[in-house]
Each structure stands twice: as C-alpha cells, then as structure tokens.
C-alpha cells in the first residue's frame, strides 16, 4: 500500500469511526434516561417488562429489531453470498413470522401473564400449571439454547467492529499490544488479536448499557436501531445496484460464476533478501485457462523470513472467474499486487454440488461444499418455510415483548407493521449480497464479514466514506438489539425463577444487585465462549432458535389453550423437543465432522422435534396428575370477558 493509499484508508476509517461513535453515544444517553424512569416503580416489573405499557411503535419496533438479529444482518448475508438466489426460498417463511407468532399466542399469552403476574416464560408456565418442576426445566432449557443465540450475536458484533476499525492507526497499535499480552494465555491466545480486542469492547459496551437501562432502554434503543436498519438497507441497495451496473448485469455475471475450490498451495517468491508478510485475503493471479481466469486468495496470513523462498501448506481458495465477467475481473485485479510471489502445487477440492457448474448461484438448490444434494433441496425448503414462523412463535425473547404490550389495538397494528418491515428488509438483502458476489469476490475466506466489508467498499467507492459508519451501524444495531434482549431474558430467568424462588424475602436492593451481576456474568461467559467461534454464525442461530422452538412451541400453545394439560406432560414435551433437536445436531456433528444438523429425509430437525414433543405430550397427559382445578378455573373460567385489555 502506497503512502497516499494508506492516508486515504486512514481518513475513511476515522470518518466511519466518528459517525459510529456518535451512534454509540446516543445509545448510552437513552440507557441513562431509561435508568431514571425506574425510580418509584416496581424494579422487576419495570426492569424486565417496562411496566407492561408498550404502545404501537414501541412494541412493533422492539419486536422487529429483536427478530432482525445479527443473523439477519451478518449470518443471512453470508449465506446469500455463499449460496446465491436460493436464499429467497430459505427466508420466505420469515416474512410471515409476525402473522403466525404474534397472531397465534400474543393475545392469550398477555392475558395469562397479567393474571399470573409473570415476568418470564418459565414463571408463566410454573404459575399456570402449579409446578416448580415445570418452571425449573423451562429455565434450564431457556438458558441453554438462548446462550447459543447469544454467542452468535457476540461473534457478529466483534466481526463488525473488526471491519470498521481495520484502518484506524490507534486500533492497529492496540491490536499489537493485545497480541503480545494474550499470546501465552491458553485458549485466549488462540484467538486472533483484532477479533479479541473488538469482542472485549463490544461485550463491555452492550452489557453496560443493558445492565444500566433495563428493558425500557432496550425498547428505546430498539426503536432507534429499527430506523437505522431500515435506512441502512435502503441505502446499501441503491449503492449496490448503481455500482454493479444494475440488477440485470449482476444476474448475468452471477449466472456465469462457479463456486470456489478450497485447499492448500505452496507459495514461491523470487526475491528473498528480506522478510515479507502477506496478509490474509491477499490475491495471487494464476496462468489463464480457455474461458476462465483463476486466482488464488490466502485464507491466512503468511510470513516469509529473510532468505526463505518457499512456504508450503498455505490454506487458500481458488476463484475461477469467467472472462466475460468484466465487473468481477476488474474488482479482483484491482486487489492483485505484484509482490514477487506465485502460487504453485495448488491442491484444491471443489464443492460436492455445483463445482464447475455455471448458473448454480441463480437456481435451486444452490451450491454446497459438503453435500451432493445442494444447499436447499425441496423438502428442506418446505421445512424452513415452517421453521421460521413456528420456531419464532416459541422464542422466549419474542414472548417477553408479547407480555409487555398494553392493549389489543397495539397488537393488531403491530402485526401489519412488522410484516411490512420484514418484507422491506429481507428481500433487498438478497439483492444486495448477490451483487456482493460480483463486486467483492473471494470473501468465502470469511463470509460472516461480508456485510460490513460491503458497506465499507460501497461507501468508499461512492466517495462518502463517513457513511460507512452509519451503514455499519445497521448490522451493529441488529446485533445490539438482540444481545440486550437476550441478556435480559437470561438474567430475568435466573433472577426471577432461581434466585427469588430460593430467597422469596429478598429486598429490592438485593434483587437489583443480583440482576446487575447476573447480566454482567452472562455477558462475560458468552464473550469467553466466543474467543474461538465456529465458521458460520448462522449455524449457531438456527440451532439456538430451533432448540427454543422445539422446547417451547407445543408446551406453550397447550399451556395457553388446553385446560387438560398436565405438569408431567409439559415437562416431557419440553425435554423431548429440546432433546431431539440436540440429538440431531450431535448426529450431524458425527457425520459431517462439524457443527451442523442431520436432516433426516431432507427435513430440518425442528420439524421432527416438534412432532416428537407433541406426541410425547399427548401420551404423557394420559394418566398423569391433573392440574389443580382452581388454576384451571382461574385461567380458563372467564377468558372470553377480557376483550378490553390484552
């Protein structure tokens, strides 16, 4: 990089950093205002549910922002980038999440929560069925599966900050210091220093404002973050289509692309008088073929020592670009530098489905490296269409919002708003990141970073680098709006359903202290667990949301609508649903040697888990102890007379 290029990159990075820092200042101001609102109110009811008084805009935005997590703005784009247009089928069911999730249980859930005075889902199940065992099992399953969801958000937040701060000189100095300090420490030292630093800063920021402001701070910031996410997608869509030459050109170039090949290469250099460092992502040009131009991109940094001419076993991907793809070729060649190094003895392996097959990115089932059936066979597409809305209905983080709206008109208007909001978010994202395959080829080396990389690239090319900070704030807002909600959910379950059950006479001051420290502890544990994250963020999200859906969908629906449900059947349903999901992922790990689901008959494990849960609950209800008749009368005796309030 020349001095001029370095100064330009630094200026762009600093401009983006300033705009991003202003966003963070606003977040903490809102947290401070929310903290002041807590005075004179019941601490737990205000801290975890905002005193159950959310209006239309607050409820709609907090529901939408919590749903549009780091998976939507980091994991989902990485899958679009990796598998192409077939992701439109994969995500289609998400558009009807508010219709199914809110319409199915929200009104009845709110009624039961108000009658029982419940703040958390485990507490609601415990009070409705009169069983401490039900509450305890629900708490364990909630914390376990929600923690995987939380882990994914921490990875996403750190990845965003890594991209945003990459060209800032102070940040680079801090990374070098972190590297020297942490290198000898087991587990911690194995993490990349830049990722570790950003993970620490992200975790500290989001835990601090969540613990400080509570549920109301989360709702207020969700409203701001929802607006930022929507604007960010609209701006990205315009920039992407303009710079790629229109959707037609992007689709034509995409139709000529073939999946990259993965493997190792031996790097040889002609000049060895001095040491040489090749950064991760360095491009090297290969001899041309008849219709394609191969390039090699490094998946890891390589350091040649003085006098060393050869470096073997370097992880690379081979990108074979069609000579007709002018935009893609221009993008790659702009990044190829003459460093006196060539790639030799390239040993790579193609995708099991889609290798050397043009058109695979614009047709179903989409390319996949580990399966000859492709990414999305027809039955798996059908199961995902069911997965998103019904798993969404059983997410405790969504249920917490449904306990907090104030009346029925709020609920009805919010369903329409959230459905429209999702439509304006998810389909444009598919267009943006299919364009991204053309504008930013080769990001299979770290696909979860493609969203912030795309934002930075588009704004720099358009000559407005300061805008990168605001655009990167969109996925960051999605991540923060999910993390704060999940932190409150987990800490609320621990405090309300564990600590307060064992210490019913605890003072409000004690409850505050335990709540704050639980929030900090959960955040610290999540940060430590994500020091060495899995490859795809979305894998964690699908497992976490699927596990929660499998554990709670049938138990919650039957708890709300079936007077004959028994405590034993509820426990059996939760354990069998969550357990089936875990078993399918364990089998997937043993079969594929990585964290992934085993898809029996090409159906997602969620489908099998819900079927098992429903069957087990029906069987277990026969002959088991009935719920106390007084509780049945309390929750089912005169439900029909409560139309005024939810």
Query: Does 636 reside within a domain?
Result: no
pLDDT of 1 strictly over 60: no
Residues 214, 270, single domain; the answer is: no
Cα–Cα distance, 175 to 541 (Å, whole number): 28
Residues 238, 268, single domain; the answer is: no
pLDDT bin (cut points 50, 70, 90) of residue 54 is: low
pLDDT of 5 strictly over 50: no
Q: Span 551-565, mean pLDDT? A: 95
Q: What is the pLDDT of residue 343?
A: 92
Q: Span 145-164, mean pLDDT? A: 81
Q: What is the pLDDT of residue 382?
A: 93
| 452 membership: H or E segment, kind and range | helix 450-461
pLDDT bin (cut points 50, 70, 90) of residue 176 is: confident
Q: Domain ends where: 512, 532, 552?
A: 532
Query: Does 340 reside within a domain?
Result: yes
Q: What is the pLDDT of residue 70?
A: 64
Residues 29, 171, single domain; the answer is: yes
Tell me which of 10-24, 70-84, 362-376, 461-475 is least confident: 10-24
- CB under 8 A, 24+ apart: contacts of 511-514: 511/43, 511/44, 512/43
Q: What is the pLDDT of residues 504-554, one digit of tens each?
A: 888 877 888 888 888 888 888 888 888 877 665 667 888 999 999 999 999
Residues 323, 234, single domain; the answer is: no
> What's the whole-model pTM score?
0.83
Q: Span 388-401, mean pLDDT? A: 88
Q: What is the pLDDT of residue 548?
A: 95
Contact present, 624 and 568 (Cβ < 8 Å): yes
Residues 399, 509, single domain; the answer is: yes
Cα–Cα distance, 90 to 78 (Å, whole number): 13
Q: What is the pLDDT of residues 56-69, one digit of tens each?
A: 787 788 788 767 76
Cα–Cα distance, 377 to 416 (Å, whole number): 31
Residues 44, 148, single domain; the answer is: yes
pLDDT top residue among 560 and 64? 560
Q: Span 294-318, mean pLDDT? A: 94
pLDDT bin (cut points 50, 70, 90) of residue 46 is: low
Residues 22, 156, single domain; the answer is: yes
Q: How many domains does the chain have?
A: 2
Supply the DSSP symbol for 117. Answer: T
Residues 161, 243, single domain; the answer is: yes
Q: What is the pLDDT of residue 638?
A: 52
Q: Domain ends where: 333, 349, 365?
A: 349
pLDDT bin (cut points 50, 70, 90) of residue 642 is: very low
DSSP sequence for 54-102? B-HHHHHHHHHHHHS-HIIIIIHHHHHHHHGGGHHHHHGGGGGHIIIII
Q: What is the pLDDT of residues 270-289, one digit of tens each?
A: 888 888 999 899 999 998 98
Cα–Cα distance, 544 to 98 (Å, whole number): 19
Residue 311's SS3 state is strand
Query: Does 79 reside within a domain?
Result: yes
pLDDT of 301 strictly over 70: yes
Give, to the nearest 10 degrees, the angle between helix 193-244 and helix 169-182: 140
Q: What is the pLDDT of residues 115-147, one digit of tens each?
A: 998 888 999 999 999 999 999 999 999 989 988
pLDDT top residue among 100 and 3? 100
Contact present, 189 and 584 (Cβ < 8 Å): no
Residue 347's SS3 state is strand
Query: Does 20 reside within a domain?
Result: yes
pLDDT of 113 strictly over 80: yes
Query: Does 377 reside within a domain?
Result: no
Phi, psi of 303, rounded to the nearest 5 degrees: -120, 115
77 exposure class (CB count in 10 Å sphere: 0-12, 13-18, 19+): buried
Residues 270, 220, single domain; the answer is: no
Q: How many CA within 13 A on the CB side of residue 545?
A: 28
Q: What is the pLDDT of residue 608?
A: 97
Rama region for 451: left / alpha / beta (φ>0; ψ in -120 to 50; rest): alpha
Q: What is the pLDDT of residue 556?
A: 97
Q: Span 382-388, mean pLDDT? A: 93
Q: What is the CATH number of the domain that holds 217?
A: 1.20.1730.10
Residues 227, 332, single domain; the answer is: no
pLDDT bin (cut points 50, 70, 90) of residue 182 is: confident
Q: Domain ends where: 498, 516, 532?
A: 532
Q: What is the pLDDT of residue 218?
A: 73
Cα–Cα distance, 219 to 229 (Å, whole number): 15
Cα–Cα distance, 471 to 16 (Å, whole number): 9
% of the chain at pLDDT higher than 90: 44
Q: Span 612-633, mean pLDDT? A: 90
Query: Does 643 reside within a domain?
Result: no
**Average pLDDT of the chain to the nearest whole number:** 86
Q: Span 19-23, mean pLDDT? A: 77
Cα–Cα distance, 451 to 77 (Å, whole number): 6
Q: What is the pLDDT of residues 330-367, one digit of tens each?
A: 999 999 988 899 998 899 999 999 999 999 999 999 99
Residues 213, 286, single domain; the answer is: no
pLDDT of 640 strictly over 50: no
DSSP sequence for 232-283? HHHHHHHHHHHHHT-HHHHHHHHHH----EEEEEEEEES--SS-EEE-TT-E
Phi, psi of 381, rounded to the nearest 5 degrees: -60, -45
Cα–Cα distance, 22 to 598 (Å, whole number): 44
Residue 209's SS3 state is helix
Q: What is the pLDDT of residue 45?
A: 66
Q: What is the pLDDT of residues 442-493, one digit of tens each?
A: 999 999 889 888 988 998 899 887 787 777 776 776 677 677 777 877 887 8
Query: Does 545 reside within a domain?
Result: no
Selection from 628, 546, 544 nearest residue 134 by Cα: 628
Convert 390-429 into a string of H (helix), E (strand) and C (coil).
HHHHCCHHHHHHHCCECCHHHHHHHHHHHHHHHHHHHHHH
pLDDT of 641 strictly over 60: no
Residue 173's SS3 state is helix
Cα–Cα distance, 435 to 4 (Å, whole number): 29
Q: What is the pLDDT of residue 48?
A: 63
Residues 218, 282, single domain; the answer is: no
Most confident of the ranges 118-122, 249-253, 408-412: 249-253
Query: Does 556 reside within a domain?
Result: no
Phi, psi of 265, rounded to the nearest 5 degrees: -145, 160
Tell me which of 114-123, 211-220, 362-371, 602-611 is least confident: 211-220
User: Which residue segment(s) compose the domain that 331 sits in?
Assistant: 260-349
Cα–Cα distance, 229 to 475 (Å, whole number): 7
């Amino acid at each position: 990089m020349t001095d001029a290029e370095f100064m330009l990159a630094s200026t762009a990075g600093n401009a983006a950093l300033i705009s991003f820092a202003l966003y963070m200042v606003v977040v903490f101001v809102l947290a401070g205002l929310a903290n002041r609102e807590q005075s004179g109110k019941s601490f737990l009811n205000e801290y975890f549910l905002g005193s159950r008084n959310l209006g239309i805009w607050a409820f709609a935005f907090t529901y939408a922002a919590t749903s549009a997590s780091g998976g939507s703005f980091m994991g989902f784009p990485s899958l679009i980038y990796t598998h192409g247009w077939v992701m439109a089928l994969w995500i289609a069911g998400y558009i009807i999440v508010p219709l199914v999730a809110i319409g199915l249980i929200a009104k009845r859930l709110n009624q039961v929560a108000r009658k029982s005075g419940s703040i958390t889902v485990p507490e609601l199940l415990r009070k409705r069925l009169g069983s401490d065992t039900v509450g305890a099992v629900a708490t364990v399953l909630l914390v376990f599966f929600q923690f995987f969801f939380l882990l994914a958000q921490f990875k996403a937040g750190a990845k965003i900050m890594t991209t945003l701060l990459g060209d800032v000189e102070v940040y680079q100095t801090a990374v070098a210091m972190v590297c020297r300090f942490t290198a000898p420490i087991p587990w911690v030292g194995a993490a990349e220093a830049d990722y570790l630093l950003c993970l620490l800063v992200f975790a500290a920021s989001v835990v601090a404002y969540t613990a400080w402001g509570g549920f109301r701070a989360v709702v207020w910031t969700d409203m701001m973050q929802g607006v930022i996410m929507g604007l960010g997608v609209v701006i990205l869509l315009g920039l992407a289509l303009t710079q790629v030459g229109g959707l037609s050109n992007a689709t034509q170039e995409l139709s000529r692309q073939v999946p990259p090949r993965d493997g190792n290469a031996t790097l040889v250099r002609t000049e060895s008088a001095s040491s040489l460092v090749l950064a991760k992502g360095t491009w090297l040009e290969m001899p041309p073929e008849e219709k394609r131009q191969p390039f090699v991109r490094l998946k890891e940094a390589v350091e040649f020592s003085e006098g060393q001419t050869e470096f073997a076993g370097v992880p690379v991907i081979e990108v074979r670009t069609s000579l007709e793809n002018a935009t893609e070729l221009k993008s790659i060649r702009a990044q190829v530098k003459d460093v006196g190094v060539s790639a030799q003895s390239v040993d790579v392996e193609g995708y099991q489905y889609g290798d050397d097959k043009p058109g695979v990115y614009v047709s179903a089932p989409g390319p996949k490296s580990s399966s000859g059936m492709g990414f999305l066979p027809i039955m798996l597409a059908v199961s995902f269409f069911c997965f998103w809305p019904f798993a969404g209905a059983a997410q405790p983080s969504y249920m917490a919002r449904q306990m907090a709206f104030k009346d029925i008109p709020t609920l009805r208007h919010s369903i329409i708003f959230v459905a429209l909001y999702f439509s304006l978010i998810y389909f444009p994202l598919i267009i943006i990141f299919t364009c991204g395959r053309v504008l930013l080829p080769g990001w299979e080396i770290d696909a979860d970073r493609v969203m912030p990389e795309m934002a930075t690239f588009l704004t720099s090319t358009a000559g407005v680098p300061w805008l990168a900070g605001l655009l990167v704030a969109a996925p960051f807002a999605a991540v923060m709006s999910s993390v704060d909600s999940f932190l409150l959910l987990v800490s609320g379950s621990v405090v309300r359903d564990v600590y307060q059950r064992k210490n019913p006479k605890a003072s409000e001051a004690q409850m505050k202290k335990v709540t704050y420290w639980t929030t900090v502890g959960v955040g610290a544990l999540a940060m430590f667990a994500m020091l060495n994250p899995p490859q795809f963020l979305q894998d964690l999200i699908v497992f976490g949301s699927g596990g929660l859906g499998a554990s709670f969908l049938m138990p919650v629906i039957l708890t709300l609508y079936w007077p004959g449900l028994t405590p034993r059947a509820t426990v059996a349903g939760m354990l069998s649903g969550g357990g089936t999901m875990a078993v399918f992922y364990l089998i997937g790990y043993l079969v594929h040697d990585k964290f992934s689901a085993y898809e029996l008959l090409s159906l997602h494990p969620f489908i099998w888990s819900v079927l098992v849960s429903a069957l087990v609950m029906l069987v277990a209800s026969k002959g088991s102890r009935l719920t106390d008749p007084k509780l049945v009368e309390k929750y089912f005796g005169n439900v029909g007379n409560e139309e005024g309030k939810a």
